Structure formats: structure tokens, C-alpha cells
Amino acid sequence: MPENLTPLNAIGEFALIRRLQAGFSLRQASTVLGIGDDAAIIAPTAGLEQVMTTDLLVEGIHFDLSFCPLRHLGYKAVAVNVSDVAAMNALPTQLVVALSVGPRFTVEAVEELYAGIRLACEAYNVDLVGGDTTASRGGLTLAVTVLGEVPAGQAARRSGGQPTDLLCVSGDLGGAFLGLQVLEREKQAFLADPDTQPELANYEYVVQRQLRPEARLDIVHELRELGIRPTSMIDISDGLASEVLHLCTASGTGARVFSEFLPLANPTLEAAAEFNLDPITCALNGGEDYELLFTVPVADHEKIKNHPDITVLGHLTDAAEGANLITKAGQPVPLKAQGWTSF
Amino acid sequence: MPENLTPLNAIGEFALIRRLQAGFSLRQASTVLGIGDDAAIIAPTAGLEQVMTTDLLVEGIHFDLSFCPLRHLGYKAVAVNVSDVAAMNALPTQLVVALSVGPRFTVEAVEELYAGIRLACEAYNVDLVGGDTTASRGGLTLAVTVLGEVPAGQAARRSGGQPTDLLCVSGDLGGAFLGLQVLEREKQAFLADPDTQPELANYEYVVQRQLRPEARLDIVHELRELGIRPTSMIDISDGLASEVLHLCTASGTGARVFSEFLPLANPTLEAAAEFNLDPITCALNGGEDYELLFTVPVADHEKIKNHPDITVLGHLTDAAEGANLITKAGQPVPLKAQGWTSF
């Protein structure tokens, strides 16, 4: 270990916690007490309901530290949880972080991870109110649990979709998957020749989509401003196809998704061409885009149709129709979940 | 793998989640929506504040599956979190579980773990409302996050102690540490001779204290019934000495703990004698007892002095006195935190 780095066992758990929490401030009026006691204290806002979700990121399964900087990992760990909060039509308020790190990590490495967590807390206006930091025999594991708030009765469940509701998605799809292909390729090139420099400059957009996804809280705010309440919503972590099927199953509907409407960014199309991958397949099955997939009543079409960052992909149908991708030639192709499974 | 066991990759993540959540029911009126969406929905009870805490248990650091049954581990993972809720003078309401398991685990093993989680949810009247289950390259890691409720303004912080407040503890101390010594000894005997049978019958109490600690929610209820509001409180996870020092630091006080009042159960004394360990040291530094350490105003002495499961250990003092153990001979010995650190 270089001399300017500090082994974790040199400072002890309590001193580590003090160092990690430095620089975090509390923003939410509902946070009564943050880090430092047996538990945080929260005063829920009258008239609001809460949402609660947890996500685990495991080294070697969800991320590869040979190309994922710790600061980005910290940011992403918060973002993917906040994305689940957004998918309920809610805004995040508090979070806790449980972290285990193996013996090869230094105090400075864990601080870098927390710098990313802090940036995400600032970006999403959420308070870090507690955590647990401990050793592991293996790699790094990061469990984040987030609380959020939503006006009572306004949470968007997966089950609220109705046949004829418009099926909408934020942003664009497939980029995160292609970013991962680029990073994996550069890693192999590096392993083959450690003197090689990673060539990422031409892939900035897709690499960013993979390493530093953003939770689409902006869409939650904009839907409120447009006076639109999504009838159902889910975030896209496993790929569009898998998430459409989840919405259909929960809502008891089918769906028609028009392939020509799938939002694909130019850098995604270019990377797909280079890797000889079908960009539509990347959008359907790639995963990790963390965009929001939601349904709105047909009556809201006027409000949403010109939104620069929301695309109407199709609509829900009766369950009997099934969930289909409609090709440019008008042919229905049943959607299949090829979503990622870690086992 | 025996034929009657199912590898995790045979059923996929969604099917696993469906199997795991079977048998769980919702008890709390505040739980609007449990497992199955992007997040759970909670309707906080008017007039109450919430507490939130998370704890991580890591294989090879916090537990050893060669002597800790998975069902006990699941129970303990909930209990240690609920203990933090109790230490705030609160009652648990909802929890989420994030779990990563290595390739050697089967579906049946994870179900066994969840059976323990379910038993604890029933015992502590708390709803499992979400989670994340994923693979790992190594062993088992279990992160539990619990929400609890407490009447507004009634949460017991570590910082509320005043000089002259009585220092009290629930139950008895040192047992969990001695249980661990017994289990480690039997493991070594087994490793030396796999035909050996573990000899645990004479150590049931201390082994139970280690493998299946209980959160002292009963004490929270009883203090409310006695009309006592603890001025400060903490749970004993790292040993009495460490926790007294935490209370004193947070409250800006010293403390006098009388060694003759330390509650030591007979099986703990017997095991300590057998292992040639000082039972007082086991109580002060052993850890994992998960009893509650709290302070009450002197005026409450009458209410508490005859309680069969609460012991008055001493009292807080001015900070200048420091935190001391008072020996039977009346000598003050400064308390030192030899609390467990995992790094």
C-alpha cells in the first residue's frame, strides 16, 4: 500500500464513520436526527405517504472496479435506489447506506465512494441519515435503502394501467448496455497489453450511461407540473421488454410497443453498429438505463406529445392481446423478458 | 448438491422472490403496499415520529455458518436491527432485507434464512415490505433496514442523560460472548475429529444468547407502562463499557458503574469459570448481548427498583469524574472501550 494511503484497520470503525460523514449536510425538513445514534429520527410530513426501497450492489456481480471508479459507484448506488422512488411518483427524503469492504480497501478508497454518495445526495436532495460500515472477507458490497414521500393516494403502482392508456418512456434506451460493451472491450485490451490506453473518448455518452446513470426525478416533477398522474410506472433496470411485461402482468393488460418509436440516441446507434448489435435488441433487453416507463390516460396525450424528453411508445391493450413489439411492417412479435439475472 | 435441493440459478430471481415472500403477512396498519412494486408504500401514523436504522451481517466477519443455523441467522439479522429501534424507545413497523448469496447456496438454504426472518417479523410485529436478492462471488451478506414509530418527541437519544440520572440495564450480560467461546471450542474439536459430537447441552443458555438474541421490545413496553421515559438509551452490541462511554460522550457526563451490581446469569458465571475468564470482563467487553442500557431520573427509582429484569448499575456524574467501574473495594477504574471492531 502506498505510504499516503491509510489501511482501514489503522483508524477503527468509529473514527472511520466520523471521517465519512464529514461533508454531509441535512436538507430535508423531515429529518429530525441524522447519523450518530442507534437510529435516525424522522418526522413524516402530514398528508404524505412514504415509499421505501432497498438495492444491493455487489462487486463482481453488479460492478467491476477495474473500470468503475469508486466515486461513480457511490453515485450510482444512490441513483438506482432513487430511481425506484421516482418510479413510485415519489421524491426521496432520507437514505441509509450499509457497506462492507474487503481488506484491500483503504480509508481513502471508502472516502472516494462516499464522495460519490454525497454528490448524489446533493443532486437528489436526499439526506444520508445512517449506515453501517464493516469488513468483509471478499469484495465490496453496498446496500442502500431510501425513503421517499408522495401525496397520499398518488403513488404510481405497477398495477394501475388500463387498456388504451398510453405507454410512455423518458429519455433514450440501450445506451447503458452499449457502454458496458465498450468498457468490457477496453478491459480485455488492457489485460492483453497493460501499456494500452483505454479508448473511451468516442464513447462518452454510452459509457456515462453505464457508469453514472441518473434517476429521472426531473420527470416526476414535470409530470406534476403538467398535471399528469401516471396510472402505472416502473423504472427500467432490466430492459424495456422485461419492464413492459411487469406492468402488463401487474395491471392485467397487454401492450403494443411500436419499434419505430423506440428512443435511440445517436451515440447508441453508432456504438451498436460498431459492435454489430441490433440497437432495438439493446433497447429491449439491455438494461440499466434507469429511465421511467409509465402509462397515462389517452386524454393526456395533448399534454405530453411534444415533450422533448418523453416518448409515447404505444399503448396498453386487453390482456388477451399479449404484450407485443409491433415491427415497422406492422407485425406483432411477442415481447420476452431476457432481463438480467445475477444467479 | 443432493438431489432434493435446488440450485439458485435453476429458478431465476423473480421466482425466488415469490417463493421467499410466501408465508409473510402484513400486520401494521401503516403498511399500504408490501413486496412486489418498485417500492413499498407506507402511511405514517399521525402524531408519531419514525426511526430508521440499518445493520449488515457478513459471513466470516459476523457469523460462521459452520455453527450458526441459517434460520437463527435470519432471526438474528432482524433482532439486531429491532434492538436499535428499541434503543430509541420506538417500536418497529416495517423492514426491508437486502441479501447476496454465493453459488454454494441453494433455494432451500435461502428459504431457511427467510423462515428465521419470518419468525422474527412475527415475534416483533413488523412487516417485511421489500428487499433485494442477488448473487455474490463470495459468501452471504445480509443487510436489514428497519423503520419504527415513537410518539413525537419521545425518542430516546444517547445525548439526553443528566448527571445523577440512574444508569440501568435490562437482562444480564456476558452470556453471548461465552456462548461464542463454547461454539468456537466445539468447532475446533469437530475440525480435529469430525466424528466428535458437539457438547452443547450444558451450555444452552449462553449458546442461545449468541445464536438467537432477542431485541428487548418488552422493556420499551414496560417502561411506557411504568410511566418512565428514559432520558437516554443505547443497545449493548459492543459490550457494556463501550456503550457507557458512548452515552457519556453524547450526554456530556461521566458515570459510575458498580461492579457488584453487574447482572450475571448463573450459566454465564459457570461458563466463565470453565473458560477461566473473568465474568466482569465478559460483561464489560464481551458484546452482542443486545440488552438495553438506559438512564432514568432519580425520581423514577421507586418505579424501577423492584423490576425483576432491570438492574440499576450506578448513575451518571459530571463529565469531570470520567466513566468508571467502581470495584467492590470502592476503587474507581476507568472504563475502556474494548468493543469489537471488524477491521
Kindly identify which residue of chain B lies nearest to residue A48, measuring between CA atoms.
Answer: B43
Burial class, A297, CB count within 10 angstroms (exposed 0-12 / middle 13-18 / buried 19+): middle
pLDDT score at B88: 98
- Pairing type for strands A253-258 and A166-170 reads unpaired
Q: Of the CATH numbers 3.90.650.10, 3.40.630.30, 3.20.20.60, 3.40.980.10, which one belongs to the domain with range B158-334? A: 3.90.650.10
Considering only the beta carbons, identify the residue of A56, A136, A159 that sits closest to B134.
Answer: A56
Which CATH class for the B8-151 domain? alpha beta
- Which residue blocks in chain B are alpha helix, DSSP H? 13-21, 70-86, 107-124, 175-192, 204-211, 217-225, 240-251, 266-274, 279-285, 301-304
CA distance A81 to A92: 9
* pLDDT interval class at A340 (50, 70, 90): low
Does A84 belong to an annotated binding site? yes
Residues of A in contact with B143 (CB under 8 A): 54, 56, 98, 132, 141, 143, 145
Domain residue limits, chain A: 8-151, 158-334
Residues of chain A in contact with residue B48, where contact means CB-CB under 8 angstroms, are 44
Q: Write the residue in A41, A44, A51 that is nearest to B41 by C-beta.
A: A51
Mean pLDDT in chain A?
A: 94
Q: What would the grid cell of residue A193 be?
A: 497489453
Under 8 Å between Cβ of A315 and A161 = no
Whether B341 and A12 lie within 8 Å, measured CB to CB: yes
Whether B29 and chain A come into contact, CB under 8 Å, resolves to no
- Rounded-to-integer distance, Cα A53 and Cα A85, Å: 7
Quote the CA–CA distance of B320 and B340 in Å, as a whole number: 27
DSSP state of B238: S
Cβ under 8 Å to B: A residues 119-138: 129-132, 134-138
Question: Is B148 in Cβ contact with A33 (below 8 Å)?
Answer: no
**Interchain proximity A136–B137, CB inside 8 Å:** no
Whether residues B343 and A135 touch (CB distance < 8 A) is answered with yes
Residue of A nearest to B152 (CA): A43
What phi, psi does A157 have (nearest 5°)? -90, 165
Higher per-residue confidence, B9 vs B262? B262
A341 pLDDT tier (thresholds 50, 70, 90): low
Q: Is B235 at the interface with chain A, CB within 8 A?
A: yes
User: CB distance A46–B46 less than 8 Å?
Assistant: yes
pLDDT band at B341 (very low <50, low <70, confident <90, very high): low
Mean pLDDT value across residues B182-203 = 88
Q: How many CB atoms lie within 10 A of CB A242?
A: 21
Closest chain B residue by Cα to residue A342: B135
pLDDT digits (tens, 9 = 90+) for A113-147: 999 999 999 999 999 999 999 989 888 999 999 99
How would you label A68-104 residue by residue, b for 16+ Cβ within 10 Å and e otherwise?
A: bebbbbbbbbbbbbbbbbbbbbbbbbbbbbbbbbeee
A196 pLDDT above the threshold of 90:
no
Check pLDDT > 80 for residue B297.
yes
- Amino acid of residue A61: I
Place of cell 459476523: B62
Within 8 A of A342 by CB-CB distance, chain B residues are 13, 134-135
